[in-house]
């Protein structure tokens, strides 16, 4: 059996040039519950689950694998938990009540209301980008698109969009010096330990949300901020200031980076697979299926974390109460026992039960229908155009083992 003890998934160098697919394959084959040490100043180490079915078991068992101790690698103390908890880090009845508050806005029927708006936005975005002939696909196409949709759902002006993008970049990119002035493990970040991502940008998002809440409280708006401030959770416990801050911030962050990177990765995969691009151009009716394959191949969220609440045995490993467990969605999406020829993009793959949004657990992505419609409409428009895009330089990836992100993607019209 090959030794996997040298593999450390805390080492960001592994992720510098995109996803370490071969490493994931090795772990799935030889070490399905793999231990990675962390720098003692950063964390106590973690178990990595890389097989599809194991990940599903973890996600579906919040009693044994809780989200309440937080869902990123960073270890937080009780004071930080109290200050920073959103619905993502809440389990049980309170989680259900908070989720219910928002879920009506994110059903497939609810998000279908945005179809006309999305078509217009996509057309304008692509017209502007393509007029430039040479451009960066991230900057011109994928970066602004999801946040513009969210801005519409929050009912905030277009002039605020760049601020929202900047804040999102800083928070999610808190391990990448190019994106964040305050890096997560820096001394400076200690000042921000009580806010999400230990990022000063989170305070700006809170202040921005407060101003929107002030304007909308007690009125009858239907935007997401109005829903948050004017509805009572079904458990009868009103939303605290902290609840509003952290859940508003979650909405700003969750839908922005993830959808952006899916669009960029999908374009890259299509360029690398011209037969698949040609098939979709010829048969656009396949695009809704293709979206599922785009999501599987992109896997923009590498992992989320859970924490064991009791000792539990998985394969040959005893996971101790309090241990961190990482569910590597990106690896589960390449599990060869689930997906035939998993490294191949096959836009007709069916079934395609990927775990890009999680799979079946209570925290399954709330925005999945919205992300799907955005990606579908983007590629329906892009692939209907009589153009060829070519790569015009190297792709730069985000230095992160949390988000599988593309920072730069230079392209030109062929
Ligand atoms: C391609 C785009 C997206 C991906 C890959 C993605 C991925 C995920 C994942 C993996 C989870 C956690 C699942 C789990 O732990 O079981 C999640 C949760 C969540 N996502 Fe998404 N997401 C995307 C887009 C969006 C959008 C557009 C929104 C809406 C603005 C959104 C809002 C949320 C929220 C609020 C949660 C927390 C749900 C809960 O804890 O109950 N996401 N997402």
Residue 323 backbone class (left: φ over 0; alpha: ψ -120 to 50; beta: rest):
beta
- In terms of residue numbers, what domain contains 296? 12-413
Q: For 146-185, how does the pLDDT look when each residue is reduced to its tens digit (9 = 90+)?
A: 999 999 999 999 899 889 988 988 898 888 888 888 888 8
3 found inside a domain:
no
Give yes or no for a contact between 206 and 245, defined as CB atoms under 8 angstroms apart: yes
**Which pLDDT belongs to residue 1?**
47
Ligand 1 atom nearest to CA at 300: 5
The DSSP code sequence of 6-56 is: T--TT-GGGGTTS--HHHHHHHHHH-SEEEE---TTT-S-EEEE-SHHHHH
User: How many angstroms does the Cα of residue 253 sit away from the middle of ligand 1?
Assistant: 10
Give yes or no for a contact between 209 and 248, defined as CB atoms under 8 angstroms apart: yes
| Cα–Cα distance, 301 to 312 (Å, whole number) | 26
Number of domains the chain contains: 1
Q: What share of the chain is helix, strand, coil (3-state, %, to 5)?
A: 50, 10, 40
178 found inside a domain:
yes
396 found inside a domain:
yes
Q: For 205-223, how does the pLDDT look when each residue is reduced to its tens digit (9 = 90+)?
A: 999 999 999 999 999 999 9
5 found inside a domain:
no
At residue 2, does pLDDT exceed 80?
no
| Cα–Cα distance, 239 to 242 (Å, whole number) | 8
Mutate to test the pocket of ligand 1, among 256, 362, 367, 379 (most ligand atoms within 8 A of CB): 367
User: How many angstroms does the Cα of residue 26 sit away from the middle of ligand 1?
Assistant: 27
Q: What percent of the chain has pLDDT over 90?
A: 90
1 found inside a domain:
no
Give yes or no for a contact between 403 and 302, defined as CB atoms under 8 angstroms apart: yes
Residue nearest to atom 43 of ligand 1 (CA): 365
Q: What is the pTM of this model?
A: 0.96
User: How many angstroms does the Cα of residue 131 sit away from the middle of ligand 1?
Assistant: 33
130 found inside a domain:
yes
Q: For 94-112, how does the pLDDT look when each residue is reduced to its tens digit (9 = 90+)?
A: 999 999 999 999 999 999 9
Two tokens at 141? 């196409």
DSSP code of 139? Answer: I
User: How many angstroms does the Cα of residue 74 sit away from the middle of ligand 1?
Assistant: 19
Q: What is the largest CA-CA distance in the chain?
A: 64
Give yes or no for a contact between 150 and 252, defined as CB atoms under 8 angstroms apart: yes
4 found inside a domain:
no
213 found inside a domain:
yes
Residue nearest to atom 22 of ligand 1 (CA): 365
**Bridge partner residues of 326 (DSSP):** 48, 305
For residue 221, the domain's CATH number is 1.10.630.10
| Cα–Cα distance, 145 to 148 (Å, whole number) | 5
């Amino acid at each position: 059996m090959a030794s996997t003890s040298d593999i450390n998934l805390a080492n960001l160098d592994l992720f510098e040039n995109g996803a370490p697919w071969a490493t994931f394959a090795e772990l799935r084959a030889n070490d399905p519950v793999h231990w990675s040490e962390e720098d003692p100043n950063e964390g106590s180490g973690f178990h990595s689950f890389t097989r599809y079915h194991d990940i599903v078991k973890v996600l579906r068992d919040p009693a044994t694998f809780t989200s309440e101790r937080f869902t990123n690698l960073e270890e937080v103390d009780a004071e930080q938990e109290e200050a920073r908890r959103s619905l993502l880090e809440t389990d049980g009845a309170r989680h259900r009540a908070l989720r219910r508050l928002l879920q009506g806005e994110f059903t497939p029927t609810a998000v279908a209301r945005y179809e006309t708006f999305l078509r217009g936005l996509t057309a304008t975005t692509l017209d502007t980008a393509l007029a430039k002939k040479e451009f960066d696909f991230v900057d011109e196409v994928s970066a602004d698109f999801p946040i513009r949709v969210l801005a519409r759902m929050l009912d905030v002006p277009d002039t605020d969009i760049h601020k929202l993008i900047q804040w999102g970049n800083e928070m999610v990119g808190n391990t990448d010096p190019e994106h964040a002035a305050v890096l997560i493990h820096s001394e400076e970040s200690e000042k921000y330990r009580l806010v999400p991502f230990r990022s000063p940008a989170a305070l700006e998002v809170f202040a921005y949300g407060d101003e929107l809440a002030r304007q909308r409280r007690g009125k009858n708006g239907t935007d997401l901020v109005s829903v948050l401030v004017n509805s009572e959770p079904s458990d009868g416990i009103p939303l605290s200031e902290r609840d509003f801050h952290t859940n508003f911030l979650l909405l700003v962050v969750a839908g922005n980076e993830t959808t952006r990177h899916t669009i960029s990765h999908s374009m890259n995969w299509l360029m690398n697979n011209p037969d698949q691009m040609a098939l979709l151009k010829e048969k656009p009716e396949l695009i809704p299926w293709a979206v599922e394959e785009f999501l599987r191949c992109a896997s923009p969220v590498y992992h989320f974390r859970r924490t064991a609440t009791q000792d539990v045995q998985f394969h040959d490993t005893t996971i101790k109460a309090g241990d961190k467990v990482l569910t590597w969605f990106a690896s589960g999406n390449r599990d060869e026992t689930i997906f035939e020829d998993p490294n191949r993009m096959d836009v007709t793959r069916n079934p395609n039960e990927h775990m890009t949004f999680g799979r079946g657990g209570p925290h399954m992505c709330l925005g999945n229908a919205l992300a799907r419609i955005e990606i579908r409409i983007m590629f329906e428009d892009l692939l209907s155009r009589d153009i060829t895009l070519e790569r015009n330089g190297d792709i730069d990836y985000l230095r992160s083992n949390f988000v599988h992100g593309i920072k730069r993607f230079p392209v030109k019209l062929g």
